[in-house]
Every structure is written in structure tokens, then in C-alpha cells.
A and B are shown apart, each in its own frame.
Chain A
Amino acid sequence: MAPSRPSTERSDLLLHAYLDGELDVSTTVELERTIASDPALANKANNVIALQKVLREKVPREQLPPYLKSRIEAALGKQRARSRPSWMLMAASVVAAIALSSMTTRVLLQAPPTSTPLANELIDGHMRSLAASQPTDVVSSDRHVVKPWFNGKILQSPRVVDLAKDEFPLVGGRIDVVNKVAVPTLVYSRRRHIISLTAVALAHGETVPVSTRPANGFNMVSWSNGDTTYWAISDLNENELNSFAKLFQNAP
């Protein structure tokens, strides 16, 4: 018997890839030829095949113990609660109370599915502000006070217009969180009604015409001017909220 050639490191590596079915066709053919002519390599192949088989058959599968499953579920539950800001929990409880009035079901069915999460977050912000002792973080009817207040707190300082002569006096401003982004919200009033006006920067410069819809017992008006979408939310009636939106849009 002719002494077998010492197998090269290359054919040794390829042997494993061959046995794992990871080789392309031409290399497979080449290696099969090498194995046929090299008893040492053939012997290695047999050893590897035997090892793979015994590992597959004898090493027991890991089962996930039931106690671990419940431990992880508990840890994830805690994590979810932690990642939600407390005011959202508060808003959620207000939503839950309102849901009893069957209004929510109707609104969820009416609202276009894509805009629902954003609208809900805005409503949450509006309701939180109503539940708080002050609906605003900065209280001023002077737009030259409100606008600079946003500077340094958020990236975009909103357009602030004075609508006092139209009987929509400015009350102040606050910062809401929409989609994990801090956004400016201006607060106006009409008689005893509060209007939250949130400005959300748009990624794509589309223009959306004014649209109105009821949501959770509030009225909501939104429009867009190309780079910013405005959302006005209030328990004010639809007509007055619409005229507020038009006044704001047309203000110099």
C-alpha cells in the first residue's frame, strides 16, 4: 500500500464544510475525489461523522424549566412598566375611565389605523394636562415669553401666534412626548375650554389639508404646512375649533 499523503490543512477544513453540506458543487466534487484517494482523510471523515452523530443523539436537549419561564415573564413585565413614563400610566387610567362610555370603540373604528397611535398619544398628552393642576409648563399670554421658553428645551421652537383679539387667548406652552420625541404644544383657551396645539415635524414634506374628527369625546383638527403638522385637540365644538385652526393658519 502506498503511503498516504499527509492531508493539507485546506482539505481538512474543507472536509468539515463538506460534511456540513456547506461546499459548492465543484469543490464538493474535488473533495470527494481527494477523499477517495486518501485513506487518512477518509478515516477522518468517518470520525467526524461518528462524532456528529453521537453529539446529536446523546447530548440531551436543553428544556426551558417552567420556573425560569415565569421568572422571565415577571422580569419583562417589570421592565415594560419601568420603560413607560408614569404620566402615560396616568393618562391610560383616564382613557380607561372614558372607555366605559362606549365612545372609544366608535372612535377607534373610525380613525384611520395609521394615524391612531399618534392621535392617541396627543390625546393622552391633552388629558394629562387637564388632569394636572396646570395645563401648561410655562404660563403666559405673551407669545414673546412662550416662544423663547421652548428654546434649549427642544430642537424646534414652534410658531406662536397671538389670537387674543379673536378671543382665543394664549395660555402658555408645554412639552409633550410623541413617538418618543419631545414636541412643543401651545395651549390656547376659548371661554373655559382648553385647546392643545401640538406641532410635529414632518419627515416628508407633504401638505395635509385641514381635517376634523371626533376622538375620545374630544375634537381634533390637523393640518400641515409642508414641514410641520399641527394637531389641535379640545373639547370645544367642531365649528369653533375649525375657526381656531383657520385663524392660526392665516395669522401673519
Chain B
Amino acid sequence: MGTQEQNAKFAAVVTPHLEDAYTLARWLTRSRADADDVLQEACIRALGAIEQHTGASPRAWLLAIVRNTAYTWLNGKRAAQLVNIDDLAERDRIQVDRGGEQAEAAVDPESEMIAHAEAKQLEALIAGLPSEFRETLVLRDLQGLGYREIAEITGSPIGTVMSRLARARHRLIAALKESNS
């Protein structure tokens, strides 16, 4: 068993993506202290599983480990605040439709308003999203992953990724509009 080989592979596969891994851990746990512990645990798991990594998208591979570690961690600490997506669907849809009614094609003060949102407000809104929405939005809009990768990391079909992303964004847009009106 080549410990050295293992270390070299870890350095090549995991190390370049530690910052991304930390970002995801931070957003999933919503706490720096928890993110520290989750990242450490995820690194230990990644080292143990490094031989099984076959080469396809090291970043997605690592982020999937971080995600699983984070949820295990949260479940151990306190019950993760999971919200049933089906309960949310109706409300989100109403918000989406209301947005449509208020539409004005020519001038677009809404987009102006969104563009002026502050970092603190954005962070609070992201943190307030249910975890399924939050992880999808963070992976796409903060970390720039493709739908296929997100589907792989979260273990969901692409259609689910699409609808979660749409709903997460509409929630943020609706909240920004509301807070500034």
C-alpha cells in the first residue's frame, strides 16, 4: 500500500479544491466553527477514499464528500432543518407569478434594485434558504458548477436541480424586492 502514492494523489485531487470545499461547508453548516470541523472530517474521508477516485471531476468528487459530511454532521448535532419542498412549491409559484404581474418591460427598476443589494443582506438571505435550495444555489451561483456536476454531488436528477435553482433564485429576488419596497 503506497502511503506516498496516496499522499501524492491527495495533493493532486483534493488540495486544489480545498477553498471550494470550505465554501460549501460554510454555506451548508452556516457556521465557521462547524465548517472547520466538517472540512477536516471530509479531508480524512477523502484521504481514506482517495484510491477509489477515478479521475472524473475531482472538484465534484470532493464537494460530494463535503456535502455528505456536512449533513451527517448536522444530523448528529441537531436535526437538520429540512423543509418539505412540496410545501414550498405553492408559495414559490405564487411569488413567481406575482413577479410576472408586476412586470414592466421597458424600464427595469427591479433589476436595478437587485443589483444594489449589499453583501450582508445577500448572505443572510442565502443562509435563510432551506438546505436543498441553498446547496443548489451556492454550487451554481457562488461556485460556478454545471447542472450535471450539481446533480452528481447532490444525488438528484437534473430536473430537480433545475427546479431547486429556479425556486432558490426567485426566493432571493422576491425577498430583495420586498425589503426595498
Q: Which residues of A contact B (CB under 8 A)?
A: 4, 6-7, 9, 12-13, 15-17, 20, 22, 39-44, 46-56, 58-64, 68-69, 71-72, 75-76, 79-80, 83-84, 117, 121, 179-180
Contacts and interface: CB of A to CB of B under 8 A. Distances in A.
A194 to B, nearest CB: 25
Given A40-B103, A68-B39, A51 B169 contact: yes
Contact of B40 (A42, A48, A54, A72): A72
A75 B43 contact: yes
A47 B114 CA distance: 7
Where chain B touches its partner, the secondary structure class is helix
Given A58-B118, A76-B44, A84-B3, A43 B173 contact: no
Interface string B125-161: 0100000000000001110001100000000000000
Contacts of B100: 4, 6-7, 40-41, 43-44
Interface stretch (B19-27, B56-64, B70-78, B79-87): B19-27
B65 interface: no
Contacts, number: 130
Contacts of B26: 62
A43 B110 contact: yes
A43 B112 CA distance: 12
B13 interface: no
Given A59-B122, A60-B119, A80-B3, A13 B40 contact: no
B111 A49 contact: yes
B1 interface: yes
B140 A12 contact: no
A13 B115 CA distance: 22
A113 B2 CA distance: 13
Nearest to B108: A46
Contacts of B115: 50, 53-54
A22 B146 contact: yes
A55 B142 contact: yes
B88 interface: no
A59 B123 contact: yes
Interface of B: 1-3, 6-7, 10, 18-19, 22-23, 26, 36, 39-40, 43-44, 47-48, 93, 96-97, 99-101, 103-105, 108, 110-112, 114-119, 122-123, 126, 140-142, 146-147, 162-163, 165-166, 169, 172-173, 176
Contacts of A13: 162-163, 166
B36 A54 contact: no
A179 B140 CA distance: 41
A58 B125 CA distance: 13
B173 A51 contact: yes
A43 B103 contact: yes
Contacts of B7: 80
Contact of B140 (A4, A20, A46): A20
B25 to A, nearest CB: 9
A58 B122 contact: yes
Contacts of B6: 80
A59 B163 contact: no
Given A20-B140, A75-B40, 15 more contacts: A7-B100, A16-B165, A20-B147, A22-B147, A39-B104, A42-B105, A46-B108, A49-B111, A58-B117, A59-B123, A59-B126, A68-B22, A76-B44, A76-B47, A180-B1
12 contacts: A20-B146, A22-B146, A39-B104, A40-B100, A40-B103, A54-B116, A58-B122, A64-B18, A72-B43, A76-B43, A76-B47, A80-B6
A80 B46 CA distance: 12
Given A59-B119, A79-B44, A48 B140 contact: no
Contacts of A41: 100
A50 B117 CA distance: 10
Nearest to A88: B1
Contacts of A47: 99, 110-111, 114, 173
B85 to A, nearest CB: 14
